[in-house]
Amino acid sequence: MRRSRDVSELVAGARGGDPRAVARLITLVENGDDLVPQIAAALAPHTGNAQVIGLTGSPGVGKSTTTTELVRVLRGQGHRVGVLAVDPSSPFTGGAILGDRVRMQQHATDTGVYIRSMSSRGHLGGLAAATPQAVRVLEGAGCDVVLVETVGVGQAEVEVASLADTTVVLLAPGMGDAIQAVKAGILEIADVFVVNKADRDGVDATYHDIQGMIGLGERGPGEWRPQVVRAIASRGEGIDEVVAAIDKHRGWLVERGELRRRREARAAAEIEAIALGRLRERIGSLRAGTALPKLAAEVAAGTSDPFTAADTLLRDMG
């Protein structure tokens, strides 16, 4: 009872722009607290409209600098911006590069920006489950753009892509990233490529490599062709162009009905994951009961088989 009232108060606080309420809600979400369903229910009426931008790339490619610069441009356009850093190498999550952290601190005094790092806190699949809820918290708190930054290795990009309306992949010259991107399946998920550190040697090669690879992809008429933008995030150069490319992609999403389709597919995946988690819990709770040990003893003795036993177990679950 007490805690239920807390949720109403916290959501009201977050809606009113209290950063402590936002922080508390994200912590609850991150920890997979029992209150998460209530939080989600309380936030639902205030969600469904924020633009979610995923930003990914290998360590060292300039993700946090680019994020900082994107926040600057988006703020200049009058947006309220939320940042979720689910990147363990991000300066926002602890592995700090001082220069970036200082620069980001500009925004720390700006009440139109909410910056938050996320960690999995050890529970399996936790981050994948918590991130969409955290996006809802930020949207409930009035952010109309949410940037989700993840490190670009393996599964993480795919999860960003499934969460974001638009996925931005950062590359840097001379890191073999164009080739690596193809190997890692990044080509399929990127809506916008940013070739960062465009003052470095090899930028033209990287730019043309990635353009070449995009050219090889088959796409029907009206399908989105990933944009490639050059930037020097550390000097703020090219960031307006990145934002323009993101906006262009959003325009395409809306025009094609793809935004709605993506968001519904995302919601469906989320509902399924929660339902599956609930079913797992039910099975787990059966361990404590008497049904499973009895069935297991029958199977071990050869008087039943595991498939018949599983059917019995499921029937008894009701």
Residue 12 is a binding residue for a copy of itself (CB under 8 A): no
- DSSP per-residue codes, 73-130: HHHHTT--EEEEE--TTSGGGTS--HHHHHHHHHHHT-TTEEEEE---TT-TTHHHHH
Tokens found for residue 7: 């949720």
Quote the least distance from Cβ 312 to a copy of itself, whole Å: 9
For residues 101 and 237, what is the distance between their CA atoms, to the nearest angstrom?
A: 19
* Amino acid code (one letter) for 20: R
- Write down the least CB distance from residue 218 to a copy of itself, Å: 25
Name which position in 121, 264, 281, 289 contacts a copy of itself (CB under 8 A): 264
Q: Which of residues 283-302 bind a copy of itself (CB under 8 A)?
A: 283, 286-287, 292-293, 295-297, 299-302
Helix (H, G, I), strand (E, B) or coil at 318: coil
Q: Which is nearer to a copy of itself, 31 or 234 (CB)?
A: 31
Tokens of residue 297, six digits: 């003893």
Tokens at 221, concatenated:
């008429």
Q: How far apart are CA 238 and CA 232, in angstroms?
A: 6
**Residue 33 C-beta: closest distance to a copy of itself, Å:** 12
Q: Tell me the backbone φ, ψ of residue 140, rounded to 5 degrees.
A: -60, -30
Judged by CB under 8 A, the stretch of 103-111, 201-209, 244-252, 256-264 that binds a copy of itself is: 256-264
- Per the listing, tokens 């090899």 go with 202
Looking at the Cβ atoms of 124 and 307, the one nearer to a copy of itself is 307
* Nearby residues of 174 by Cβ (< 8 Å), 6 or more positions away: 200, 201, 202, 206
| Minimum CB distance to a copy of itself smaller for 99 or for 289 | 289
Burial 278-292, CB ≥16 within 10 A → b, else e: eeeeeeeebeeeeeb
**Strands, DSSP E only, in the chain?**
51-57, 81-85, 113-117, 145-151, 166-171, 192-195, 227-230
Q: Which stretch binds a copy of itself (CB under 8 A): 13-21, 96-104, 207-215, 264-272?
A: 264-272
Determine if 77 is a binding residue for a copy of itself (CB under 8 A): no
Which residue in the set 99, 123, 280, 281 belongs to the binding site for a copy of itself (CB under 8 A)? 280
Residues 124-163 that bind a copy of itself (CB under 8 A): 132
Q: Does 271 bind a copy of itself (CB under 8 A)?
A: yes
Q: How far is the CB of 306 from a copy of itself (least distance, A)?
A: 4
Stretch that binds a copy of itself, among 8-16, 182-190, 236-244, 281-289 (CB under 8 A): 281-289
- For a copy of itself, the binding residues (CB under 8 A) are 36-37, 40-41, 43-49, 132, 260, 263-268, 270-272, 274-276, 278-280, 283, 286-287, 292-293, 295-297, 299-311, 313-314
